[in-house]
Homo-oligomer: A and B are copies of this chain.
Amino acid sequence: MAEDGGLPGPVLVVGAGLLGTSIGLALTARGVEVWLSDLNPEHVRTASGLGAGTPLRDGASPSLVVVAVPPDAVGARVHEALEAHPGAVVTDVGSVKSEPLEHLRRHLPDDADSGSLARYVGSHPMAGSERSGPLAASAALFDGRPWAVTPHERAAEPSVQAVLGLVALCGASPVVLSPAEHDQAVARISHLPHLMAVLVAGRLAGASAEHLALSGQGVRDVTRIAAGDPRLWEQIIGANAPAVLTLLEEVQDRLATLHAAVSGSDRAALGTLLAEGVAGTRAIPGKHGGPVRPTGSVYVAVPDHPGELARLFADAGEARVNVEDIHIDHDPGRPVGQVELVVDVELADQLCEALVGRGWTAYR
């Protein structure tokens, strides 16, 4: 399997939840032997029933162990795996990478243990689902998604190659970063956005129904991720506290600047902050990692019943225009949805005319 990065197999997956079972399904689909373990035997039964692997037998010796447990338990489970399977490379799929490494450094302190530490390389697939548990798993979960691989300075090259092989077999795109860089990156592109969405959503909880009646797509987009499981996010934020605190302090600083600009009617300072935001939206990579191409939107009124979206996209397809993104505005007034089709700006007028020509109420 050299073309896949040299993953030797068999693989032990510790933790048969959403991620662990999905990895098991992806690997077995590629012909890799997978063993499963979980503190909850019901999860192992379910995952193996789905074809994600077979229950771990005593004395089995895997060549790779994938630890897929909640953030709080990652360090301890990785440590156990390194000691229980001295011939195996060990990785984890947790959302934070420095804390488990620190746990290992505390528990594998002396040179005699450096061999164990060399067998550990952390990783983090940027994939998930709003559901959890083995029944939510899918072999396609990682398809084309970024998967961070985070070697520390004492990691052995064959260990790194084994984890890259895992990423390749799961169909993901590897992004190699140091553990500290990874944690700073996810603090910025995941943890801070989550916490800011939480603070905005928190301001809605007490608002009157008639005030909330004015809500549009903007506030829905900003707050959507704030619905995430608080118990999971407590662990993620708690494990990445240093990187998160640095960004929270940056935001506190900018918020103070913003407050001063608004209270002092300082339009120039306010404009500078707003322009920073525009620049930030352009910094996010576009589709397929390429530069963001300029897009334009076409708005269409769509009756809210089955088949109408199908008709709309069939007509858009006839126009030979590729839809880059979609937003549906939830319409408080009537059983009609407002659909925003985001397309290459060069093609927006053409799409709009084509849809109007086919009887849709569409405009730019």
A259 contacts across to B, CB distance below 8 A: 245, 248-249, 252
Contact A262 B283 (CB under 8 A): no
Closest to A136 in B: B364
Chain A positions 308-363 with a Cβ under 8 Å from a chain B Cβ: 308-317, 319-328, 330-338, 361-363
Query: In whole angstroms, what is the CA distance A131 to B363 when docked?
Result: 11
How many residues on A have C-beta within 8 angstroms of the other chain's C-beta atoms?
Answer: 145
Nearest to A275 among chain B residues (CB) is: B230
A 275-299 contacts with B by CB, 8 A: 275-289, 296-297, 299
Query: Is A87's beta carbon under 8 Å from chain B?
Result: no
Q: Do A219 and B189 touch across chains, with their CB atoms under 8 A apart?
A: yes
User: Judging by beta carbons under 8 Å apart, are B196 and A199 in contact?
Assistant: yes
Residues in B whose Cβ lies below 8 Å from that of A278: 201, 226-228, 230
- Say how far A99's CB is from chain B's closest CB, in angstroms: 12
- Docked CA distance A117–B167 (Å): 68
Task: Determine the chain B residues whose CB is within 8 A of the CB of A231 once the complex forms.
Answer: 271
Q: For the complex formed by this chain, how many copies does it contain in all? A: 2
- Interface flag for A59 (CB, 8 Å): no
Question: Are A255 and B262 in contact (CB-based, < 8 A)?
Answer: no
Pairwise interchain contact A189-B202, C-beta atoms closer than 8 A: no
Q: Say yes or no for A42: interface residue by CB 8 A criterion.
A: no
Query: In the complex, which residues of chain B have a beta carbon less than 8 angstroms from the beta carbon of A271?
Result: 230-231, 234
CA distance A126 to B312 in the complex (A): 24
Contact B288 A332 (CB under 8 A): yes
A10 contacts the other chain (Cβ, under 8 Å)? no
Of the listed stretches A32-40, A155-163, A171-179, name the one at the interface; the rest are far from the partner chain. Answer: A171-179
Chain B residues near A173 (CB-CB < 8 A): 332-334
- Interface status of A185 (Cβ within 8 A of chain B): yes
Stretch at the interface among A77-85, A100-108, A206-214: A206-214
Q: Is A114 interfacial (CB-CB < 8 Å)?
A: no
A224 within 8 A of B: yes
Within the complex, which residue of B280, B309, B313 is in contact with A203, where a contact is CB–CB below 8 Å?
B280
A197 interfacial contact with B, CB 8 Å: yes
Pick the residue among B184, B197, B249, B325 that contacts A277 (CB under 8 A).
B197
